[in-house]
Amino acid sequence: MRPFFRLFALALFLLPSISSATRLTVLPEVGVLPQVRLGGVQVEDCDWSAQLVKTLSVAVAKGNYTQISGHQALQLSLALRRRDVAQRGLAFEADVGLRVGLLAGGHMIASTDAVDEREGVKAPSQACDALRAVVPALVESIGDWLSEVQVPQCAQDCEDVLPDQPLFVAASITEIAAGVRNDAARDECRWLDYMPAQIAGAFNQLDKNVYMQAPPLIVKKNHQPAPGVRTLILKLGDARSTANGSSANLPDLRGELYAGRMLLGSFQTKPRSSTFGSAFGASLCNQLVSLSDKAAEAIAEWLKLPRLDAQL
């Protein structure tokens, strides 16, 4: 093969990895969140943060994050939420928590809190080694999140999105599509008030783990999207009768999650019908509650990592 063609073939081979690496870059410094206390043994002279950035940069360059392809150039920021190195006998243990953010146009449009979730790991005999030992687990945690997070598209309505941002849902569903306002069974069961509270209850009982160190979902009367908070908007969609003879149907529920005015995700519930009717002694309201509880659990899981156009 001629030298020119060999060079051209090499360029084609390297192009995807170069493109992937430059679309998402890791900022070179690990910051510290305001009012964070760095406790335990003094380890300021350790090079563990540089090792973290280097290891994460290599992992990101190799990653295949298809769900963020096509987006503008993104930067990955790291900041300490906590760092505690404690001596236990002759060994040292490090407890590190990171705030990880995806930056676009100066806004943190997605974020998570990463922690070292390893158990039963042998503790090093040096403090700096204890910090370096958490790096692979943190990088793995961040990589798992990057492979699942969906990055919102925004222009003038970009907002910062933080894991501990307040999260609200209006106490009653008031956005109702034309033609479905009058439904005797739904109104009798007070479903429009029941469903927001049930979603909040299901979400607040979840183990939200590394992906979402979140505050509770708060039910608030007449709540509307506002800057600095996340808001779940619930809507009653196309006509779907709540009652089908003596059996209940789940109403067509749609939802949108916003940070300020920026859309983070959306969903629509799948049709669900009761497998038993009033002939078995279950009222329509009891059947509707059972169907709604299952839907609420699915919506609560979606809230941990919201995505667009989800069918739940």
Give the domain CATH number at 184.
Answer: 3.40.50
C-alpha to C-alpha distance for 254 and 237, rounded to whole angstroms = 6
Which ranges in the chain belong to alpha helices (H)?
3-23, 48-62, 127-133, 135-146, 184-188, 191-204, 284-304
C-alpha to C-alpha distance for 166 and 217, rounded to whole angstroms = 8
Contacts (Cβ under 8 Å, ≥6 apart) of 304: 206, 208, 211, 212
* Sequence-distant contacts of 89-92: CB under 8 A, at least 24 apart: 90/125, 91/122, 91/123, 91/124, 91/125, 91/130, 92/41, 92/123, 92/124, 92/125, 92/126, 92/127, 92/129, 92/130
Note whether 214 and 136 are same-domain residues.
Answer: no
* Number of domains the chain is built from: 2
Residue 272 within a domain:
yes
C-alpha to C-alpha distance for 26 and 51, rounded to whole angstroms = 12
Note whether 96 and 139 are same-domain residues.
Answer: yes
Instruction: Give 21 or 127, the one with higher predicted confidence.
Output: 127
Residue 242 within a domain:
yes
What is the torsional sign of CA 111, 112, 116, 118?
negative
Note whether 42 and 94 are same-domain residues.
Answer: yes
Task: Say if residue 182's pLDDT is above 70.
Answer: no
Note whether 98 and 180 are same-domain residues.
Answer: no
Q: Kindly state the tokens that stand for 245.
A: 């003879």
pTM of the predicted model, to two decimals?
A: 0.75
Residue 15 within a domain:
no
Residue 42 within a domain:
yes
CA atoms within 13 A on the CB side of 207: 1
Note whether 216 and 122 are same-domain residues.
Answer: no
Task: Say if residue 42's pLDDT is above 60.
Answer: yes
Note whether 76 and 186 are same-domain residues.
Answer: no
Note whether 181 and 272 are same-domain residues.
Answer: yes
- pLDDT tens per residue across span 108-132: 888 888 888 776 566 778 888 888 8
Residue 276 banded pLDDT, cuts 50, 70, 90:
low
Q: What is the predicted pLDDT for the residue at 71?
A: 64
Query: How much is the average pLDDT of 52-63?
Result: 91
C-alpha to C-alpha distance for 43 and 33, rounded to whole angstroms = 18
Note whether 196 and 275 are same-domain residues.
Answer: yes
Task: Say if residue 280's pLDDT is above 50.
Answer: no
Residue 4 within a domain:
no
- pLDDT tens per residue across span 205-260: 887 654 445 688 999 887 888 888 899 999 988 766 676 766 778 888 899 999 88
Note whether 42 and 111 are same-domain residues.
Answer: yes
Note whether 221 and 306 are same-domain residues.
Answer: yes
Residue 155 banded pLDDT, cuts 50, 70, 90:
low
Range(s) of the domain holding residue 116: 22-146
Note whether 89 and 176 are same-domain residues.
Answer: no
**168 conformational bin, left if phi > 0, alpha if psi -120 to 50, beta if neither:** beta
Residue 16 within a domain:
no
- Of 231, 161, 163, nearest to 196 by C-alpha is 231
Residue 235 within a domain:
yes
Residue 248 within a domain:
yes
Is the distance from CB of 166 to CB of 148 less than 8 angstroms? no
What is the torsional sign of CA 153, 156, 157, 160?
positive
Note whether 105 and 173 are same-domain residues.
Answer: no
Provide the b/e sequence for 222-231 (b: ≥16 CB within 10 Å): ebebeeebbb
